[in-house]
Every structure is written in structure tokens, then in C-alpha cells.
Structure 1
Amino acid sequence: MPDLPSTARVVIIGGGVIGCSVAYHLTQLGWTDVILLERKQLTSGTTWHAAGLIAQLRATANMTKLAKYSQELYGNLEDETGVATGFKRVGSITAALTDERLEELHRQAAMARAFGVAVEEISPSEVKAKYEHLNIDGVTGGVYLPLDGQGDPANIALALAKGARQRGARIQERAAVTGITRAGRRVTGVDWLGEDGTSGHITCDAVVNCAGMWGHQVGRMAGVNVPLQACEHFYIVSEPIAGLTPMPVLRVPDECAYYKEDAGKIMLGAFEPVSKPWAVNGIPADFEFDQLPEDFDHFEPILEAAVNRMPMLAEAGIHTFFNGPESFTPDDAYHLGLAPEMDNVWVAAGFNSIGIQSAGGAGMALAQWMDAGQKPFDLGDVDIARMQPFQGNKTYLAARASETLGLLYADHFPYRQKATARGIRRTPFHHHLLEQGAVMGELAGWERANWFANARQVPEYSYSWKRQTFFENIAVEHRAVRENVGIYDMSSFGKIRVEGPDACAFLNHIGGGQYDVPVGRIVYTQFLNPRGGIEADVTVTRLSETAYLVVTPAATRLADQTWMMRNRGDHNVVLTDVTASEAVLAVMGPNARTLLQMVSPADFSNEANPFGTAQEIEIGMALARVHRVTYVGELGWEVYISADMAGHVFEVLHAAGQQIGAKLCGMHMMDTCRIEKGFRHFGHDITAEDHVLEAGLGFAVKLDKPAFIGRDAVLRRKENGLERRLVQFRLTDPEPLLYHNEPVLRDGKIVGHLSSGAYGHHFGVAMGMGYVPCAGQSVAEVLGSSYEVDVAGRRYAAEVSLKPFYDPTGARTKV
């Protein structure tokens, strides 16, 4: 084996399609000191047996952008490198067998138009015309994407590798990484061992974990958490079929199947509802281009349906029955970015059977992130920082992976909850809420009451794109908060204690608000990046002269704390996750003060506890701290209780609440109330890509204080004017439902899409938020236009406002 250099700027671990893509894109940006180490041979893990389906449309605008980039890249690679990628635009068809699936496809088609993807809704007969071999019995319709394609997975990876080599990267096969050395929060180097017994150590500035199904193991070496699990993935390839010509890729998700024509044969692949995790206790050391044992019994139900759906399969023999492993993540989104635990370990792994279509764009995005030191655009869907530490648990991963493979082709109903690996993180109120009819959802492992069933209902979800079984339950909870008082559990929200002599100075450096406030004051604020984008949306409460509590969304606690830590600089502060130490009950509604006065001798008046302040109280026989803030737009308090006294406080509040008709409420109610009030949802309405002024949050940024991250970008945008604005939409028709990504039309032309949506039960119509262009336009011009929202291909008129439709002055929160 040739000697490897002893130093490198970056070592990429893994020679599948994503490792090759990262190397390709780093060298494209001028990085030459790049080494890629592959334990066996390039593509020998998963890439070599991938189906090579290359679709454009993904669940969000940025993921679609990356998939489109992959297509364009693969189309040009052959000219650049001379390696045939087999890329061809054959188009794709997805056929629905139910009305619910058809609505999903029509919503996806509308979304595709908003994202600039060519798409056609087609009838069953049009499906048949484009795919003559299909039995269309039971087909309710479909969608056709003419520019989707397919390619040769191994050759795409080899072309990327050749492109990287041509620009100076060193790609070394048969060199396994055996160890990673560390100093504090940085990797210092990589140990490798060649198959011929040679070994060495490479000192490096950074490591990229592109190890695919070995990504979890390599992550452990580097001291980082990369939750993924290999599963068996099955497909068959028919014998040659006479007269079979190139056809679009066909997906029939209701039968868990996809079909691809390849050189006169048909490939039938499956995403079965209950899959088979593989190698839970470790992948065999000699694994290389290996197949797993056949399991015809497991695949037989898929094949039976396929023979009916594609009758020519009944006549053709099976040439190949293939079973090979692919890695899946807990939420079916891949892992990309800088690992939270270390400051120079990057991850691109866990591609959930869409690695070929994702690798080009993911490699480009990661390379730009590494080169510039900040994300090129919002990557929250796939940012590795979204993963919680417990999700690296192998027992958890095996249980969850048995479901996530099948979820790729399951109905993607709104509010759909994972069914496996549940019950891991429970708040102190968990059993109290279940006793009262709570129907739990899961977020970041937390079990959260999403809604409450009544005595006549089965306390479980029954999914639909229309009004679901809990629609009226949420309306009742919504009305309780708007008209009386509601109680709900907010314990899952992240709590980060910032403490030390420099706590105030540190927060004033990292955040856009002013934190030099009296003890007990609460500041609603954002942490900005240098572009003025929003990295975190939080409240900060001053607990003492040297201590603050930062409250974050449940899903972003780790990401937010990591951002704070990486921007700590020389400030003398300690950051501590205290989420589990305090439970939180929100008491919200016009009678919230009445209820709290029934159980506490504290003074809840405006004079003693004005909006935006916290105070220590007695409640029942316990102690607590109340924060007077709201995410539902009503008078209310968040009651923080140490975990040991939480059960008692719940019982006291609930018993007193029964005397005045208080209602236990869930997270879905909180979302319907906040949408009426125009409160932003981090990850949907506001992200790292969205400028704080364009998001309408300039009031929370204090430009009269010394330099803070993002200040210059805010001043520039203030001077140059906004390019777009986040506006609130309210349909005039009470029937359609909004979720997110529905196209927004202004004067008949698509100008954007909804970033979030929900039903406004107070108004009796669906509502949403989304960005619309406004460069060079006055507010009157923006609001004076005619707006519509496209729901599954049908346009509905919408009213728009920059101010909240509900209580625009905020008077109800301060009574």
C-alpha cells in the first residue's frame, strides 16, 4: 500500500457516494489537502446495490433544492470526468390507490409548483397511458414528474471520486480507520490500518464521518452521536422481458412498492411497513459487496400485490432476489453538519434509501458549510444537532428502525406519530394526563399530551387529510383558553441555565435583545447568525445578578446550547441543561389569574407581576416560580415547579380548576392559538436562513447596545430595505385545511409558500404564515394585492395582514 501523508486538512471516512461527493465539492472549493479513507473498496457498503432512483421533490424547499442540484450535477459529471453515470431523465409516476393518498399526491404536486419542480396531476387513464403495463384497478389517480431520473449508483460515486482526484484529493481504498485521537472538543488525528498490515496516523484539522451504516460506530470513535441503524432492504430483478422499453420510474406506495425498468428487465423494490434491523450488535469486519440471506416469506406479500399490479411479472422469471443493508435514522431524515459534541467533526450519513438522489446536494451543502464556517442556507431538517443524545441507544435504534423504513412509503398524514420506541422521556405529569384522557405525541423523545379525548372517544389518532377525529376536541380546548382557562404541560421545552460573572455580557454578545435587566425580567429574543438569520428563538429570564434561564423549543435544546457554547469565546460562564429538573404547567386564559389566586397567596396583579416578569410563589403546599408570558395570546402564566413537587402542584391546580371549568389542553391547541396570534414557529416560520427583520421580529433586536452577533447584518438590511416579509394569511372559505408548504399566489402568480398553517378555531377558518417578496414595495402595495392559497390544486382566496388577526394590540395578554 502506498504511504499515506502524515497530515491533512481533512480526513473523510467512508467511500460511498456521499464521501465521494464531499471530497468532490471540497476540492471544487479549492481544498487540496483532502484524504478519503475507505475500509474496503469504494461503493462496497450500500452504494453499489442502491436502486439509483433520482427524484427532485422532497418535503421542504431546501431539500428539493438539494435534490434538483444532484440531478443537474449527475447530468454533467460524465462530460467532466469521462465516467459514465448512466443518468437519464425517464420521469416518474406515483399512483394512488385511495382518496387519502390522492389528496397527499395533489398536495405534493401543489408544493412542487411552489418549489419550481415540473409536475402534472394525472387521472387513472393517463397513468395507464404513460405506463401501459400497469393494472389500474383501484387506481384513483397519480402525479407525473417528467424530469425525474435514474442512474448507475456505483458509477456516480466513481465519477465524483475521479473529479475529486483530478483536483488533488487523495482517495485510499483498503485503509480502515481504527481510532480517532482527541484533545478536548477537537479531533487531532486518525489512525488507519491497511489490509496488508501497514498502518499510520494522520494529523488533521477536521474529520468527516461519511461511513454510512458504520456511521454510528465511527461516531463513537470520534466522541459524537450519530443515530442510525442498518436494515435489510429487498428487491427483485426479473428475467429480460421481450419488448420492454424504457419506462418512467413507478411508485405505488399503497402497496409499498416501486418499479424501475433497467436494460429490458423490471426491478421491484419494497419499503415494507415492518422492516428487519440488521447487525444490531455490529457489522461483520469482512463485509464488502455482500448480500444478506434471502427472506422470501418476508417479501412475499409485496410480490403478490406486485404480480397483480404488474401482470407481466407473473410471466417473467426472477433473475435476482436481492437483500442488502441500508441505514435508517430515527426520523427518516439524513444527518448532515457539525456534530454538537465536537468542534471539528462533521457528519454526512444515514441517507434512508435516498442516498443517490441526496448525495450531490448534501455534499455541496456540507462543503460550503465547512468552507465558510456557517450554513449556506437552512438545513434544520437534516442538521445532526437535531438528534437527542439518547437516540444513539442501540435498543432504541433497532426498535425505531423497524418502522422508519416503511414510513418512506406510508401515508404522510398531518400529525402522524411514530408508533415504535415510545415512552422514553416522560414529564412528571405523564400519568396524571393519561388518567384524564391525554392522547400522546412524541417530540425529541418526549411524550407530550397533544389533545384530550372525551369519555365517548377512543384515545388515539385516526389519521386523515380532512378533519381528523380530534378536530372538535381541539376546538373545545381552544375555546377554553380563549374564553375561560386552560392548563397544559410545557415541561418538555428546553431549559438552559447560564451562570457566571460574565452571564449578562455573554448573552448580550450572542443575542439580539438587551439582557441587562432587573432580576425577574423576561426577555423574548433571538440568537442571530452573522447574516441576521435566526439560530434560536427563546425567552431569557434573569434569575439573579449572575444567572439566567434560557427556554427553548423542545426539539432544539441541544442545537441552541451548542450554538451558545461555540460562541462563548472568553466569557466566564457555565451552560447547564436543566430541562428535567423543573416541570412546567401553563395556565392560560381570561380566568388564569382567578385560578392561580385560588391556589396561591401570591399577588398576581399587574402591579406585582406585570407581563414579562417572573416571581417566586407558594402554590398549594409547594414552591414554584411563575413566568408571565404566553404563546397563545392570552393572559397567563407558566408555572415552573421542581420535579419532586410537580405531581402535587398538578393535583392542586386541577382540583381547583374543576370549580371554574378549567380544561386540560394539548400541544395541538397551542399551535392553533399561536397561528391566530401570528406567533412564529421556529423551524417553520423562522430559521437560520430567515432574516430577523423580514420575519417581523425587529422589535426584539436592540441596536443601541454594543456589538452582538448579527448586528451588522441587521443594520445593512435596515438600510437597504427588506426583500420579503412574513405575513399572516386567513382563508375566507371555512372548509379547506392548511398545514404547511401550500403555494401562495399573489395576483395569480406563485410567489412563495406557507411556512406553517393550522385551523383558527376562533375565526372558523384555516390560517397560515409565509414570506412574500416586497423589494421596493410599500406595505400598502404588499397588503393591497389579491392573494390565494393553493390547496391540493384548488385555489382559495386569502386575507393577509402584517399584524396578528387575533388581538393585534396584544391587550388581552396584559389585562
Structure 2
Amino acid sequence: MKPLPSKARAVIIGGGVSGCSVAYHLVKLGWTDVILLERKQLTCGTTWHAAGLLSELRGSSDMTKLTKYSMQLYSSLEEETGIATGLRRVGSLSIALTQERKHELYRQLSLAAAYGVEARKISVRELEGMYPHIDVSDVTAALHFPNDGQCDPGNVAMALAKGARQRGAAIFEGVNVAGVQARNGRVSSVTWEKEGQRGVIETEVVVNCAGMWAREFGARSDVAVPLHACEHFYLVTEPINGLTRLPVLRVLDEHTYYKEDAGRLLFGAVEPEAKPWGMDGIPESFCFDQLPEDFAHFEPIMEKALKRIPMLATAGIRTFFNGPESFTPDDQYHLGEVPDVRGYWVACGYNSTGIAAAGGAGLALAQWMNDDEPPFDLSSVDIRRMEPLQKNRSYLRERVSEVVALSFADHFPTRQMTTARGIRRSPIHEHLKARGAVFGEMVGWEQANWFAREGQEREYRYSWYRQNWFDNQRDEHTAVRERVGLFDLTSFGKIRVEGRDAITFLQRLCSNDVDVPIGQIVYTQMLNERGGIESDLTVSRLTETAFLLVVSASTLQPNLSWLRRHLGDEFVVITDMSASESILAVMGPNSRELLGRVSPNDFSNENNPYGTWQEIEIGMGLARAHRVTCVGELGWGIYIPTDQAAHVFEVIEAAGADVGLKLCGLYAIGSCRMEKGCRHLPDDVGSRDHVLEAGLGFAVKTAKPGYIGRDAVLRKLEAGFDRRLVQFRLKDPAPLLHKNEVVFRDGRIAGTITSGDYGHTLGGALGLGYIPCKDESEAALLSSSYQIEIAGESYAAEVSLKPMYDPNGERMRA
């Protein structure tokens, strides 16, 4: 055999479509000495049996760019390599069988126009004309995406592999990678085995593209890659007389998809309850293998298919296929550099979208590796979003049984996972449960989202309209605005940064000035070199050399990674303290009075002004009272050692009856923060959003030298803004805003809503969104006419650059 080299710039592990795409794009960027190692044969894991469906539209503009690129790439590979990819832009059809699904499809239609994806609404009669074999008796709506299509997955991977070879990449099959070695926290080499031979390749860059083996392979190097394989079923008929070229068909409410292939019909399913596979590991011998048939599992899907496509009843079955695919805990794939080992990258866990995603994902990862920064906002797929607990195999096995179906599920706002629940709980979880809390889940944390009234069901009834908790949110919102509410924010991430050089380190990372006296709290961002927002946080100075950083639960791991990656020679210790303290937030105009009843300390403006903290006695416990707010009202976050949290909760609750205390959930915070126009990361602000255009210039100190992103801030001040984040309020009080509704300015598409909620005090739905404004004045921006489209219906909106509620912040400083 051709000898393996002893050194390489990059070693890619896994010869499926993902690994081949990464190799292709790295060499296309000019990387030399790129090696791909495949344990058996190219495509032999999942790629060879993928359905090969291609669709452009995704849930964000950046993810849509990547899938559109995939299709463009696959259409050009044949000319470049001589290998046909089988790409056929036959179009696709998505049909709805319910009114709720119809609403969702029409929302997608609006979004498609904003993202540059061609789509149109078609009538039932048009649907019959385009797909004459379908029963349309219960169809409520249908969309046609003319540029979608299908391809041959194996040939796509082979074309990418050949294109990579043509530019100098070396691809070796039959090579088992025993492990990845690291030195001083960075990849140093790869060890391999082939036909009894062993060797080492020195390299500083490894890409784990091992698909359903990626978790096990990563574990060999103590790298967490949370994914798990599930069985995937589809059926292929014998040739059907008269079956002509057809668009891909997705019957979302039946969890089925159909594609015509050489006169045969393939139909498959994303089952509501999937079958995890490979709990004890995937056999080393696995190569182009199938899993045992389980027709009993597939039978409910088959029954629906026979009714939907009656000609299937007389068609012969050529293949009943069952093969494994890998899935992640949140239905988003894994991309990027892992947090613990520099130079260890991943591209895997595609959740049945690997063929459509791999071209764009390979491009994005290669550019990320080349430039040391992502080319788009990739936070939704960044491997750093995963919590350590999510590598637990029992957790993964249970969670992925639900994840398989999510791509075809109704994507209702506030939809909650039902599997792998109850893992992380606040010390007062049972107290809240006994008082009617209805919990949601965030990276394993159980969070009280709303409180049911006595006799009210403690379940979600999902809808695109007002859900069954809407009135509960209103009552909790009103209590915070008029009296006082109590929130459990224990799930917030808490990071202690301490040491001799802590202030030097934080001053370099934070855009605001955090060199403040002990007892002060600073709201700030951590920026990248483009002025984009990597972190949105508060920094509290605890001592001369110790600081507490507080972030949202979902961004804890990316924050820890960002801090550790930027730690140089400074003498600093970074510690995740999230489990050591609970946070009880006491918010509302009566909060000062309530705290005065349970603590002998002075909560006056003179002693404890906004943006400061103090140590307090509370009940018979000790805590810190942080004078900050997440709802735009007078309030405190009470930081309590977890062993005292239940006691403090009981004391506050007992004292609160006379001042109108109400237990409140996170949905009330969402409503209040939207009225106040508070930004939420990653929805409203992120790595590609300039801090000034996001309206956060008040938290940026341009006079402070030396912090990351300062030069980008100064450049933006000189060049002017290209866009602004503004607040919208619908004039009609009935409709709701959630996210991704399309904004029209003077009749033209101008952007989308980044996040939305209902403003119960302001009396209408509110949203945030970016509007282009290059070379425009604020007056011109605000004087335009704005409409927001919701599922095809247009609603007039007011717009503001300042918070519509308490724009001067007088209430929170009262």
C-alpha cells in the first residue's frame, strides 16, 4: 500500500460525505498536506444509504446560505470531477393536514422570501396536478419549492473525494485511527493501524467526521461529542408503470417523505418515537451494513402511506431498508473546535440532513479553521453549546428517540422536550412544583416557565396563537409591574474569575470598564475582533482579585470556552460556580419593602444603588443582594448558597403575602424584557452583530485601551451604521410575534424579527429586529412605514430605537 505520511497539516477522520466535504474545502483554500483516513471504505457508514433529499430553506438566514451552497456545489462537481452527483432539481412539496400546520407553512412562505428562497403557495388542484397519485381529501395547505431536489449521496461523497485528491489531498481507506494525542492542551498527533501495521502522524489539526462513531472516537481522547445513532427506515417499490418524474413530497403531519427514483417510489419516515441503536458501541466490522427489519415498528407509517398514496397498495416492494443515522440532543449538528483541546475540530451529527448540510458545513468549517473565526453565525451548531452532562449515554439514548421526529414536528413556540427530563434541579424545585410550576428544560435544567392556577392543568397546549398559559403570563407580568414577583434563576451560569491578574484579563476581554470598586456590578459584552458579541453578561467585583460573571444557562459553556481560549500568561483561575449558588430574583415596585421585612440590611438607594451588591442577612441565612434587573423594575437578585436556598425561599414567601408577592416564571421575564427592549443572546445579538448596531453602545467604553474589538468599534463610529436593532409594537393587539416574522419597510422586505413576545403593559405584541440604514438618519429610519407579516397577513407596527417601556430607566433606579 501507499505509505502513510509521518506529518500532516490536517488529518480528517471519517470518509462519509462530511469528511470528504471538509477535505475538499480545505485544499480548495490552499491547505497542503491534508489527509483523510477512513476505517473501512468511503461512504460505508451512513452516507451510502441516505435518502439524498435536498431543500434550501432553514430556520436562519445563515443556515439557509449553507444549504443553498450545498446544492450549487453538487451541481458543479460533475463538470469538475467527471462523477455525476445525480442532482435533480425536481422541486419539493410540503403539505399540511391541520390548521396549525397550515399556519406554520405560511410562516415559512414569508420567511423564504426574506431568505431569497423561491417558494409559492399552491391550491389543492395544483397539488393534484403536480402529484397526481396523492389523496388530497384532508389537505389544508401546500407549498412548492421549485429549486429543491434530490441527489445520489454516495456519488456526491465520491465527487468531493475526487475533487479533494485533484487538489492534493491524500485519502486512505482501511485505516483505523486508534486515537488522537494532545500535548499542553493542543492536538499533537494521530496514531493509526492498518493490516497489522501501526504508525503515528504528527499534526496539530484533527477533524472528527466519524459520523455515528464520533462520540466513541472522541471519548478515546476525553473529547465529548454528544450524539447517538437511531434506526432509520424506508421502503423502495418495484418499478411502477407510468410513474414519471415527481417532486419530493413531505407529508409533515404523517412524518413521511416520498421521492421518485428511476420509476420507483421511495418513502420513509421520521418516526415520533424512534429506536436508538448502538448503546453498547457500534461494531468495528460495520461496513455497508443494514439493521434487522422491524416491520411492526414501521407498520403505523405504512398504514398512513397506503392511504396517502393509494397506488402503493398494488406496488411491489423491492427493498425494506433499516440503517443507522446519528442524532444530537437538540436536533442541531456539531461543528467547530471542541472546548477542551485546541486543534480538535468536529463535523458530525447531522440529524438526517447530512447530504443537504454537508457541502455548506464543509465550506464553513474549512473557512473557520483557516481564519480562526466562523464565516457566519454558527452558534446554533457550534459544538461548544453542549453541556458536559449531555455526553451521558443513558441521556442520549432517551433524548434522541424524540429528536428524530423534530424535523417534521410542528415547530410551535415554547415547545418543550419531553424526554431525558429532571436531570438538573434547583434546591427549591419541589417547592415550586407544589405551588403549580410548569417546567421547561434548558441544557438539562428544569426551569419554572409559568405557574398554573388551582385546578388548571399543568400541561402545554401548543399553538401558534395564544397558548393555554397566556393569561398566566399576563398575571405574573402584571404582578411584577405593579407589586412584586419572585423568580428562581438558579440555572443562570456563574463564573468566578480570580487571581493576581484577574482585572488585567477581564479588562482585555470586556468592552465596558470593569475596574470598579468592590461591590459594583457592570453590564458589559465580550467582543470579537469584528466588534461582534460573543458574550452578554454582568461582572460583579467581589474582592480586589475576584470577580463573578453571570450569563444565561444556555451560554455558560461558550462563555467558559471563550474565557479559557483567551487566557494568556496571566495568573488567573476560571471556575464554573453555577451549582454552588442559587439565585432568587425579587422584582417589582414592592421589592424593597419585601426585602426589608426579611433582612435587617439597608436596601435604600443611598446604601445599595442600582448596579451594586451587598452582603446581607436574610432569614437565618447569609446571601448577596445584587441590585440589578432583568424586567425593567426595581429589584434584586439574591445569591444564596444552595444549602440555604430553600430556607430563604420560605422566608421570602411567608413575608410576601401582605405586599402582593406572586411566584413568577421565565415567560413573565420574557414579556417584561421585551417591553424594556433588552437584548437576548443568541437571538438578538451574536458574533456577527456589531455591538453598536445592536444598540449597546452605552456598555462600550471607547476610551478604555486594549480590549478585544475596540478597533472595530472605532471603525464603526467613523464609518457609520449599516443597520440598527429596533423595537416594534404591533398596533393590532390580537396577533403574536415569536421569531422570524418578516418586516416590511415602506412595502419592501427589510429584515426579520429576531425575538418576540407579548407586552401586557403596552398592550400588543413586541419584537426586535435589524433594519438596514446605511447613510440614513435616525429620523428617516423612524419615519418610515412598517408592517410585519405573520403567515401571510400584514400588520402595521410602531418602531422605536429606545425602549418603549420606561425609556429612561427611572423605575429600575427608583
Provide the TM-score with structure 2 as the length reference.
Answer: 0.99
Q: What is the deviation of 1:376?
A: 1.0
Q: Which sections of structure 1, spanning at least 5 residues, go unmatched?
A: none
Q: Measure how far apart 1:408 and its partner are.
A: 1.8
1:37 is the counterpart of 2:30: no
Instruction: Determine the structure 2 residue equivalent to 1:111.
Output: 111
- Measure the CA separation in 2 of the matches of 1:130 and 1:612: 62
Matched, 1:337 2:336: yes
Q: Deviations over 1:471-504 (max 9, x none)?
A: 0000000000011100001110100000001111
| Distance (Å, rounded) in 1 between the aligned partners of 2:545 and 2:483 | 38
Aligned to 1:130: 130
In 2, Cα distance between the equivalents of 1:336 and 1:774?
A: 33
Give the deviation of 1:109 after TM superposition. 1.2
Which structure 2 segments of 5+ residues have no match? none
Distance (Å, rounded) in 1 between the aligned partners of 2:654 and 2:166: 73
- For each residue in 1:240-297, what CA deviation from the matched residue of structure 2 results, as whole angstroms up to 9, or x when unmatched? 0011111110000111100000000100100111010001110011000000000000
Question: In the alignment, what sits opposite 2:399?
Answer: 400
Provide the residue aligned with 1:755 in structure 2. 754
- The superposition leaves residues 520-574 of structure 1 with CA deviations (integer Å, 9 ceiling, x where unpaired) of 1100000000000000000000000000000011011111011011111111100
Native 8 Å contact 2:78 2:85 kept in 1: yes
Query: Aligned-pair RMSD on alpha carbons?
Result: 0.7
| Alpha-carbon displacement from aligned partner over 1:163-206 (angstroms, at most 9, x marks no partner) | 11111101111101112212231121111111x22221101011
Provide the residue aligned with 2:14 in structure 1. 14
Paired residues in the alignment total 814
2:573 is the alignment partner of 1:574: yes
In the other structure, the counterpart of 2:563 is 564
Give the structure 1 partner of residue 493 of structure 2.
494
Deviation at 1:127, TM superposition (A): 1.9
Q: Distance in 1 between matches of 2:640 and 2:671?
A: 26
One-letter amino acid of the counterpart of residue 172, structure 1: F
Q: Are the equivalent residues in 2 in contact too, given 1:127–1:141 (CA < 8 A)?
A: no
Match of 2:781 in 1: 782
Distance 2:113 2:598 in 1: 54
For 2:623, the aligned partner's letter is A
Question: What letter corresponds to residue 378 of structure 2 in structure 1?
Answer: L
How many Å apart are 1:620 and its aligned residue? Answer: 0.5
Q: How much has 1:704 moved relative to structure 2?
A: 1.0
Tell me the amino acid that sits aligned with residue 147 of structure 2. L
How far, CA to CA, are the matches of 2:415 and 2:340 in structure 1?
30
| Structure 2 residue aligned with 1:51 | 51
Q: Are the aligned partners of 1:187 and 1:222 in contact in 2 as well (CA < 8 Å)?
A: no
Question: Are the equivalent residues in 2 in contact too, given 1:56–1:68 (CA < 8 A)?
Answer: yes
Report what 2:79 is aligned to.
Answer: 79
Q: 1:122-271 residue pairs with structure 2 within 5 A?
A: 122-194=122-194, 196-271=195-270
Helix, strand or coil at the partner of 2:615: strand
Q: Give the deviation of 1:596 after TM superposition.
A: 0.5
Question: How high is the sequence identity, in percent, across the aligned residues?
Answer: 61
1:687-708 per-residue CA deviation (whole Å, 9 max, x = no partner) reads 0000001001111111111211
User: Aligned partners of 2:424 and 2:620: how far apart in 1?
Assistant: 27
Contact 2:182 2:341 in 1 (8 A): no
Separation in 1, partners of 2:656, 2:351: 47
Secondary structure of the 2:8 match is: strand
CA distance in 1, matches of 2:498, 2:767: 38
2:27 corresponds to 1:27: yes
| 1:224 positional shift | 1.3
The aligned counterpart of 1:310 is 309
Deviation digits for residues 307-349 of structure 1 (CA, Å, limit 9, x no counterpart): 0100110110111000000000000000000101111100101
Alpha-carbon contact 1:423-1:447 (below 8 Å) kept: yes
Give the structure 1 partner of residue 459 of structure 2.
460
What SS does structure 2 have at the residue aligned with 1:753? Answer: strand
Per the TM alignment, residue 126 of structure 1 is displaced from its structure 2 partner at its CA by 2.4
Partner Cα distance (1:495, 1:261) in 2: 53
**Secondary structure class of the residue paired with 1:767:** strand
2:636 counterpart SS class: strand
Secondary structure of 1:572's aligned partner: coil
Which residue number corresponds to residue 289 of structure 1?
288
Secondary structure in 2 matching 1:782: helix
Question: Is contact 1:223–1:342 with CA below 8 Å preserved after alignment?
Answer: no
Once the two structures are superposed, the pairs formed by residues 672-691 of structure 1 within 5 Å of their partners are 672-691=671-690
Distance in 2 (CA, whole Å) between partners of 1:358 and 1:631 is 37
Equivalent position of 1:531 in the other structure = 530
Tell me whether 1:637 sits opposite 2:640 in the alignment. no
Query: What SS does the aligned partner of 1:425 have?
Result: coil
Structure 2 counterpart of 1:103, one-letter code: H
How far residue 59 of structure 1 moved from its aligned partner, in angstroms, is: 1.2
- The residue identity in structure 2 corresponding to 1:495 is K
How far 1:216 sits from its partner (Å)? 0.2
Amino acid at match of 1:28: K
- CA contact under 8 A between 1:721 and 1:775: conserved in structure 2? yes
Query: Equivalents in 1 of 2:89, 2:376: separation in Å?
Result: 27
CA shift, 1:143, in A, is 1.2
Q: Contact between 2:27 and 2:164, CA under 8 Å: does it hold in 1?
A: yes
Q: Distance in 2 between matches of 1:182 and 1:399?
A: 32
Residue correspondence of structure 1 range 511-526 to structure 2 within 5 A: 511-526=510-525
Cα displacement (A) at 1:456 = 2.2
Q: 1:806 aligns to what?
A: 805
Paired letter, 1:158: M
Q: Which residue of 2 aligns with 1:120?
A: 120
Deviation at 1:412, TM superposition (A): 1.1
1:611 is matched by which residue type in structure 2? Answer: Y
Task: Tell me the amino acid that sits aligned with residue 173 of structure 2.
Answer: E
Q: Which 4+ stretches in 1 moved above 6 angstroms?
A: none
Superposition deviation, residue 125 in structure 1 = 2.3
Q: What amino acid maps onto 2:497 in structure 1? A: V
Residue by residue, what CA displacement relative to the aligned partner does 1:50-104 show, whole Å, maximum 9, x if unpaired?
0000100111111111111111111111111111000011111011010011111
Structure 1 residue identity aligned to 2:643: D
Which deviates further from its counterpart, 173-182 or 287-296? 173-182
Alpha-carbon distance between aligned partners in 2 of 1:709 and 1:183, rounded to the nearest angstrom: 27
Aligned twin of 1:369 = 368
* 8 A contact 1:222–1:345 mirrored in 2: no
Displacement of 1:607: 0.2
For residues 175 and 555 of structure 2, the distance between their equivalents in structure 1, rounded to whole angstroms, comes to: 37
User: CA separation in 2, counterparts of 1:649 and 1:113?
Assistant: 52
Counterpart of 2:390 in structure 1 is 391
Map of 1:482 onto structure 2: 481
* Separation in structure 1 between the aligned mates of residue 520 and residue 575 of structure 2, nearest angstrom: 20
Deviation of 1:222 (Å): 2.7
TM-score (norm 1): 0.99
For 1:93, the equivalent position in structure 2 comes to: 93
